């Protein structure tokens, strides 16, 4: 089975290519620009990804496409028309790639979507499932949802098998965004008003996501399915900070503050979304992929957090 990984330069793409190569699976990495090589992985430059990208060379001889490339969600959107910018890459770029893949005889198309298709949050102990009504709240989530629907339409009129994967927050070596900022604050020993945070969030370690994507690419039962994936152990912001701090050798300095007061401060400072990510819950039920594909995360949440902390300590401290 020959793989094409689209977005192979990214946070998930590089470890995915490395793992495929380690398993002896022929892998071609589609990237926009040159990057450090990976042993036993073929690289092909594709340039900008949109509805006009020519994929003919990249798709030659490919059996499975794993599509990771996307216009990523950002906290501070600067575009005057963000939905159009997201659709250009996440919707039209995906449609173009899938249609060319079907014409090229590709058997399976694994699309990495987002839990944001389900929504922005859950109540404690209520978990998103694949059967929930979709409820995307922002342009990124809408574009991902639209891409999912478009892929199912393509699959219905071609021989292309489509598999959708919706991960929650992904962490691991090389993580960026809010998780990286959390590590930075812990490393500096900044006191945080989060000792009372009793939310619950699902996470997925990057190496667990890589393993799940390969299972979705290879397991016969995955065709046509949508899967939520996580480490299987949810965690509060309080426990997350404590575990990461301990693993880094920089114990978290936490003090209590009412959640209502923190949310008010977020509103006044224009940081409502950031505060809600620290205080709100977002849980997913990954039981479907475990049952149907007999998938079990190869790493526990604690192992993932430990590895992430060790990476940060060795590269930033």
Check 86, 92, 140, 227 and give the catalytic one: 140
Give the 3-state secondary structure of 288-312.
Answer: HHHHHHCCCCCCCHHHHHHHHHHHH
Query: Is 111 a known active-site residue?
Result: no
Structure tokens given for 77 = 């959107």
Task: Give me the half-sphere count of Cα atoms (radius 13 Å) on the Cβ side of residue 288.
Answer: 18
Burial of residue 83 (number of CB atoms within 10 Å: 0-12, 13-18, 19+): middle
Distance of CA 28 to the CA centre of its chain: 20
Complete DSSP assignment for 90-135: IIHHHHHHHHHHHHTT--EEEEE--GGGT-S-B-TT--B-TTSPP-
Please state, as a whole number, how many other Cβ atoms lie within 10 Å of the Cβ of residue 142: 20
Residue indicated by tokens 């694994």:
110
Q: How many angstroms separate the CA atoms of 309 and 155, rounded?
A: 41
Identify any residues that bridge with 167 across adjacent strands, giving them in sequence order.
none
How far is Cα 283 from Cα 132, in angstroms, rounded to an integer? 13
Q: Give me the numbers of helices (H) and strands (E) for the chain, helices first please.
A: 12, 9
Tokens of 238: 């309080």
Q: Which two tokens stand for residue 2?
A: 């020959």
Annotated catalytic residues are: 140
């Amino acid at each position: 089975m020959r793989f094409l990984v689209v977005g192979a330069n990214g946070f998930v793409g590089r470890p995915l290519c490395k793992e495929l190569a380690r398993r002896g699976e022929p892998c071609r990495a589609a990237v926009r620009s040159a990057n450090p090589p990976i042993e036993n992985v073929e690289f092909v430059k594709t340039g900008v990804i949109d509805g006009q990208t020519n994929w003919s060379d990249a798709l030659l001889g490919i059996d499975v496409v794993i599509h990771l490339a996307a216009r990523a969600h950002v906290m501070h959107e600067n575009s005057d028309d963000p939905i159009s910018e997201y659709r250009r890459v996440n919707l039209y770029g995906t449609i173009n790639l899938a249609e060319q893949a079907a014409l090229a005889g590709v058997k399976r198309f694994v699309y990495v979507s987002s839990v944001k298709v389900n929504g922005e949050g859950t109540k404690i102990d209520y978990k998103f499932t694949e059967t929930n009504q979709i409820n995307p709240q922002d342009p990124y989530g809408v574009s991902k949802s639209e891409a999912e629907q478009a892929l199912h339409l393509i699959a219905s009129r071609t021989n292309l098998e489509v598999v959708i994967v919706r991960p929650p927050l992904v962490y691991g070596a090389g993580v960026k965004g809010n998780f990286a900022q959390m590590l930075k604050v812990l490393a500096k020993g900044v006191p945080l008003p989060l000792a009372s945070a009793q939310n619950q969030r699902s996470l997925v370690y990057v190496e667990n996501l890589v393993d799940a994507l390969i299972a979705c690419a290879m397991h016969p039962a995955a065709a046509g399915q949508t899967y939520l994936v996580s480490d299987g152990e949810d965690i509060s912001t309080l426990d997350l900070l404590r575990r990461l701090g301990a693993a880094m050798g920089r114990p978290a300095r936490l003090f209590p503050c009412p959640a209502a007061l923190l949310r008010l401060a977020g509103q006044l400072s224009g940081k409502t979304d950031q505060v809600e990510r620290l205080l709100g819950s977002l849980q997913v039920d990954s039981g479907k992929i475990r049952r149907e594909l007999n998938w079990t995360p190869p790493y526990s949440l604690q192992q993932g957090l430990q590895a992430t902390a060790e990476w940060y300590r060795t590269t930033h401290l």
